[in-house]
Structure 1
């Protein structure tokens, strides 16, 4: 499914990066709804530094450019 799966690496974090798997497939879903239950494993086991959260939130609100 190369048409909807790709990997992304954000260079802003320097050497402290992680691989992010993006799946843009929404063929049967609602385009106007983000399903938050997919984040449940992260909420149950992971802690983020505030600076990491702030950067991700800024990307979410403003985009990458």
Structure 2
């Protein structure tokens, strides 16, 4: 995957993160549901971190 494709992936993940933020602000959730939302959000952040690390690796190989 090229750097450009990885950037597109990060952008898509950021859009998902924004959606989660809007969902959380827009409703009251049970503690269990909120825990699941937090877990999913942390997974998204981890995926973003992984993609950024891959981009950094490619830049190092220039």
TM-score, length-scaled by structure 2: 0.29
Q: Which has the higher strand share?
A: 1
TM-score, length-scaled by structure 1: 0.28
Larger Rg: 2
Q: Which has the higher helix share?
A: 2
Higher relative contact order (CA 8 A, sep 6+): 2
